[in-house]
Amino acid sequence: MKILKLMLAGCLATMTIMAADVTGKWTAEMPGRDGNTMTTTMNLKADGSALTGTVSGRRGDTDISAGKVDGSNVTFDVVREFNGNKMTTHYIGTLDGDTIHFTIKSETPNGPMERKIDAKRSTT
């Protein structure tokens, strides 16, 4: 029984260490209108499986919500308000070294939209 508890503690410690790997500044090129791209910055902080931080946008930084880290899986939401309407964007990512591969899903007035981006760990 003690061996099982030690193995479980080791697994939990490993998951905590892996979760800490997403802490830091990440940048990604987001496709925009008319083929233009915009650099987006994500400042993330993992505390165990909980994830907090901000995502930059045209109107400045927005806090993330519902952030979680589960092994190499990273998820969070960004809620923004436009003309009195709230729009939630869901970020679903996989950590791969110094890259997080994200699928970004949002509901727009024109229907659902899905994009894929790669966020790179920033050294600055």
What pTM was estimated for this model as a whole?
Answer: 0.79
In three-state secondary structure terms, 11 is helix
Domain range 2-121, CATH class = mainly beta
In a structure prediction context, what are the per-residue pLDDT tens digits for the chain, which is 124 residues long?
566 454 555 554 454 444 448 999 999 998 777 778 889 999 999 999 999 999 998 778 999 999 999 999 999 999 988 788 888 999 999 999 999 999 999 987 788 889 999 999 998 7
Q: Cβ distance 79 to 65 under 8 Å?
A: yes
Q: Cβ distance 24 to 77 under 8 Å?
A: no
Q: Tell me how crowded residue 104 is: count the other CB atoms within 10 A of its CB.
A: 18
